[in-house]
A and B are shown apart, each in its own frame.
Chain A
Amino acid sequence: MLLEVQGLNAFYGDAQALFNVSLQLRAGEVVGVLGANGAGKSTLMKSLTGLVAVDKGAIRLRQQPIGGMPPGEIVKHGVALVPEGRRLFPSMTVEENLMMGGYSKRPGRWNKHAIFELFPILEEKRSQPATSLSGGQQQMVAIGRALMSNPDVLLCDEISLGLAPVVIKDIYESLPDICSDGMSVVVVEQDVIVAQQCSARLYCLQEGRVSLEGTSDALTRDQISEAYFGI
């Protein structure tokens, strides 16, 4: 098992956002995490990357506990996050944003050129301020920035949010290429169809608890709706 979360409790501010959450991720696997607003998806991503403290439970990467490490250590171990809302560095160009992503200097296949090959439009706009790009292009920068650390686990927090359907399709079509060398991806989504299509297994979160888990193909829409909305 590449990444293993066991009985995780975490707080968002003063309120408990995760209750006894367990999750497994194998090498080379794409796993979807579904849930409505406030279900705890982002808190889960933040505790996996060290931005939110782990209150109880364990997070293990290749059997090694990483829960509670500072974010800078976790990225060195090979977990990278594409944060919700992209959060590019506004004072930097596209290229500088990518360079910041490579700060941890983890070796691997991803560098500026590989990113430009994956998203050719970014090479054209490499010297522009990152925040002057369109939403979809900014999302590509955010994904590229996370890839620059050559992670073994890539966490994508709602990368479809606020983007046009065509753009979402484009971005998700780059996933197989990204995973082609055995990288694992966790895709956090509100969009059930997108999540089901791109992932091998799904987890549904509801009010901070795992309400459903299973193979994406085997789960029915009704099961997912019930786990999603609790109706």
Chain B
Amino acid sequence: MLETIIQGILLGGLYCIFALGLSLMFGVMRLTNIALGDQIIISGFIAIGMATVLGFNVLWIGLLLLPIAYISGFCFQGWVLNRTLSKDPLPSLVVTFGLSIVIQNTLQMVFGANPRSLDVGSLSTAGVELSPSLTVGVLPLIIFVSAIVCTFGLQWLFAHTAIGRSFRAVSDDREVAELMGLSAKRVFATATGLAFCLIALAGWFQGMRTTVSPSDGPSLLLFAFEAVIIGGMGSFWGTFLGAMVLGVTQQVGFHYDPGWGIWFGHLVFIVVLFIKPNGLFPKTKG
């Protein structure tokens, strides 16, 4: 059972990175990015493409992906999503939903329906022995540590930096933030740029850890969504813990029956919604 829980926590690390991108965009501009899962998948495919066509090393691919992701996110927000933002949440939902379909079909056309993965050589099987009966994979461990670093980094960014303050300002009161001299649209673009970096990181890890196939996106979105809701919208640590809960639940489900894992996760999600609609770790207001 201990092994199952540890595997679940490590899986939760991956879900956490999925969910942080969603949490960030929602937190700053109340925008739900329906295409998140597909953006993760397309990042995975771009990484695989770089590996096969250009023959780059996996680490270089990761480093290259981040600036590309930032610029794409910044431009996507600036040119497309900023035009959809208003009091009405529907336009941005429709646009990202449409994008989701476009990405899925484009990937099908270009790469076919087969699952692919990013070759990481011996890293895929490397393990650390915690005790004679318990070994955990190095890659899942790296992903988990990255999730902690990302969560901590975002929380620090929001609490202690000028960028973070501008994020909070436009989220608190866009009009007054603009009175102070901020360009809300620029702040939004920066936030989406950052979110896309997390998305690229998630796709890179997903491609290394398992496989990516063009139709995987929606289920990844669902995991991210569940992690955010279970954790509560208040803080990035809430999202982190929500992802842990989801990962462990799924892993426990898998332990009993390989068909139950995902379903178990959904079940816990619904139970949490019933008992604590604001999530397990909502923001405490003073």
Which residues of A are in contact with B by a Cβ distance under 8 Å? 49, 51, 70-72, 75-76, 80-81, 83, 87, 89-92, 96, 99-101, 103-104, 129, 132, 145, 149
B165 to chain A, nearest CB (A): 6
B160 to chain A, nearest CB (A): 10
30 contacts between A and B (CB under 8 A): A51-B175, A51-B178, A71-B175, A71-B179, A71-B181, A72-B178, A72-B180, A72-B181, A75-B179, A75-B180, A76-B181, A80-B179, A83-B179, A87-B175, A87-B176, A89-B168, A89-B169, A89-B173, A89-B176, A91-B168, A91-B171, A91-B172, A92-B165, A92-B168, A92-B169, A92-B172, A100-B180, A103-B181, A103-B182, A129-B286
* Alpha-carbon separation in the docked complex, A152 to B79 (Å): 35
Q: 8 nearest interchain CB pairs?
A: A104-B181, A89-B172, A71-B178, A91-B168, A72-B181, A103-B180, A103-B181, A75-B181
Check B180 against A149 for contact (C-beta < 8 Å). yes
Interface-centre pick from B169, B171, B179, B286 (highest chain A CB count, 10 A): B179
* Alpha-carbon separation in the docked complex, A119 to B176 (Å): 22
Query: What string of 1s and 0s marks CB contacts (under 8 Å) between B156-190 and chain A?
Result: 00000000011011011101111111110000000
Check A70 against B178 for contact (C-beta < 8 Å). yes
Q: Which residue of A lies closest to B158 (CB)?
A: A91
Which residues of B are in contact with A by a Cβ distance under 8 Å? 165-166, 168-169, 171-173, 175-183, 286
Check A149 against B165 for contact (C-beta < 8 Å). no
Interface-centre pick from B169, B178, B180 (highest chain A CB count, 10 A): B180
Check A83 against B176 for contact (C-beta < 8 Å). yes
Check A101 against B180 for contact (C-beta < 8 Å). yes
Interface-centre pick from A70, A91, A132, A145 (highest chain B CB count, 10 A): A91
Check A72 against B176 for contact (C-beta < 8 Å). no
Chain B contacts for A100, CB-based, 8 A: 165, 169, 177, 180
B208 to chain A, nearest CB (A): 36
Chain B contacts for A92, CB-based, 8 A: 165, 168-169, 172
Chain A contacts for B181, CB-based, 8 A: 71-72, 75-76, 103-104, 149
* Alpha-carbon separation in the docked complex, A149 to B173 (Å): 18
B106 to chain A, nearest CB (A): 37
Chain A contacts for B177, CB-based, 8 A: 89, 100
Other A-B contacts than A72-B181, A89-B168, A100-B177, 4 sampled, CB-CB below 8 A, are A51-B175, A51-B178, A89-B173, A92-B168
Chain B contacts for A83, CB-based, 8 A: 176, 179
Interface-centre pick from A75, A81, A100, A132 (highest chain B CB count, 10 A): A100
Chain B contacts for A145, CB-based, 8 A: 180
Chain B contacts for A49, CB-based, 8 A: 179
A40 to chain B, nearest CB (A): 18
* Alpha-carbon separation in the docked complex, A95 to B168 (Å): 14
* Alpha-carbon separation in the docked complex, A104 to B177 (Å): 11
Chain B contacts for A71, CB-based, 8 A: 175, 178-179, 181
A168 to chain B, nearest CB (A): 22
Q: A87-B173, A132-B286 are in contact. Are A51 and B168 (CB under 8 A)?
A: no
Chain B contacts for A104, CB-based, 8 A: 180-181
Q: Which residue of B lies closest to A72 (CB)?
A: B181
* Alpha-carbon separation in the docked complex, A218 to B77 (Å): 56
Name the one of B165, B176, B183 contacting A96, with C-beta atoms under 8 angstroms: B165
B23 to chain A, nearest CB (A): 15
* Alpha-carbon separation in the docked complex, A201 to B33 (Å): 53
* Alpha-carbon separation in the docked complex, A132 to B178 (Å): 23
A1 to chain B, nearest CB (A): 24
* Alpha-carbon separation in the docked complex, A145 to B180 (Å): 9
* Alpha-carbon separation in the docked complex, A23 to B209 (Å): 67
* Alpha-carbon separation in the docked complex, A101 to B177 (Å): 9
* Alpha-carbon separation in the docked complex, A15 to B124 (Å): 65
